[in-house]
Amino acid sequence: MPEDNSYFFEGVEKLLEIWFSESANNIDDLRTIPREEWEGLLRHVNCEIISFSRNTLIDAYVLSESSMFVSKRRLILKTCGTTTPLQCLEPFLKIAKQYGFTEICDLFYSRKNFTKPEVQLSPHRGFCEEVTYLDSIFPEGRSYCLGSINQECWYLYTFSKSEAINIKEGPEKADPDQTIEILMQNLDPNKMTIFTKDKFSEAHEATSNSGIDQILPDMDIDDFLFEPCGYSMNGINKKGEYMTIHITPEKKFSYVSFESNVALDNYTNLINKVIKTFQPAKFIVSIFANKSSLAYETMKDLEIEYSKTSSWNRTNMQCCNFPSYNLLFAQYSLK
Ligand SMILES: C[S@+](CC[C@H](N)C(=O)[O-])C[C@H]1O[C@@H](n2cnc3c(N)ncnc32)[C@H](O)[C@@H]1O
């Protein structure tokens, strides 16, 4: 790993998820947007495609800074470092329109607080700047901060068409949707050496040695090991679900993120598996579920309060009810 004392990499990602309403003819598909268009959009973000995988339901891109997933009417763009994902929003909406998608039904932009906000580029130099930028496109959008504003927190901006037109019950027949994110910091240095070129020359060796391939075993994995260290993977399964893991192993600013939209009625086992695999000293969990999701009812009672004999302290827990989604946010640190 780099010995240079001044080197810093911001592992914390900016996560943008956009859902379009079904197009007029019902057959338009974001996956028909050609690769050159995506490459052009990613130039606005300051990152590039380094690997690609797909199945019949989802296209998955590993990026130089994290990942992008494209399905029929949903885009997920997750980028770390000093990337500028909001810079591609307007050009993307223009391109999506040319491919039949004129109306956004849900938009989520979220991120944890940065370790070094001062190195970020506009419009990401602070959450207020990000909100001002998003509000200029979505005057009906709303912004939130969960956790502690003066310590660790997680920012969220949402826009929902049902909210904008004041339909209190939300969309009647939305596709089931849920997303779990686990953002981990201060990781076990021994575990982190797995994600260096000193230890393994091939990404698949790091994937199997760490146990990443056992977290959700039905996923087809596309993985990448950076020089001299750093790791990214996308997994996709036949149901069109995805998982993605990104690892910044450097001891001074270690960070790992796990994200998936796998449908489960209870996420406790998955959270336990992820935590065991990476052994962080602190982490936050967020779970979104819409009304059609298996998780919608159960997540309110989700018991991610580890037993008294475990080594985890839950330092925060908040639940929010949005018009069409429930959100659970919890923060843990070692006792
Ligand atoms: C892109 S990866 C994963 C980032 C992810 N957001 C995370 O969870 O940390 C970042 C790690 O790869 C390393 N790295 C090495 N070469 C890189 C490159 N060309 N671009 C981005 N990161 C690189 C960084 O130092 C860092 O440890």
- 102-153 pLDDT tens trace: 999 999 999 999 999 999 999 999 999 999 999 999 999 999 999 998 999 9
257 ligand 1 Cβ < 6 A: yes
**Distance from C-alpha of 234 to C-alpha of 220, rounded to nearest angstrom:** 8
Residue 329 pLDDT greater than 90, yes or no: yes
Buried b (16+ CB within 10 A) or exposed e, 306-325: beeeeebeeebeeeeebbbb
Tokens of 258: 């796990």
Mean pLDDT of 160-179: 66
Q: What is the CATH T-level fold of the domain 14-334, as seen in this structure? A: S-adenosylmethionine decarboxylase (3.60.90)
Q: Active site residue: 47, 246, 257, 324, which one?
A: 246
Instruction: Give the strand pairing for 14-20 and 49-54.
Output: unpaired
Query: Is 287 in a helix, a strand, or coil?
Result: strand
For the chain, the domains span: 14-334
Q: Is the CB of 13 under 6 A from ligand 1?
A: yes
What is the CB-side half-sphere exposure of residue 141 using CA atoms within 13 A?
A: 23
Model pLDDT for residues 263-286, shown as the tens digit of each residue: 998 898 999 999 999 999 999 999
pLDDT for the residue numbered 23:
87
User: Each residue of 4-42: pLDDT tens digit?
Assistant: 778 999 999 999 999 999 988 989 999 999 999 999 999
- Cβ count within 10 A of residue 142: 15
- Whole-number Å distance, alpha carbon 153 to ligand 1 midpoint, is 22
Instruction: Round to the nearest angstrom and report the end-to-end CA distance of the chain.
Output: 29
Catalytic residue among 23, 64, 66, 293: 66
Q: Residue 292 catalytic?
A: no
pLDDT band at 288 (very low <50, low <70, confident <90, very high): very high
Question: Is the entire prediction scored with pTM above 0.80?
Answer: yes
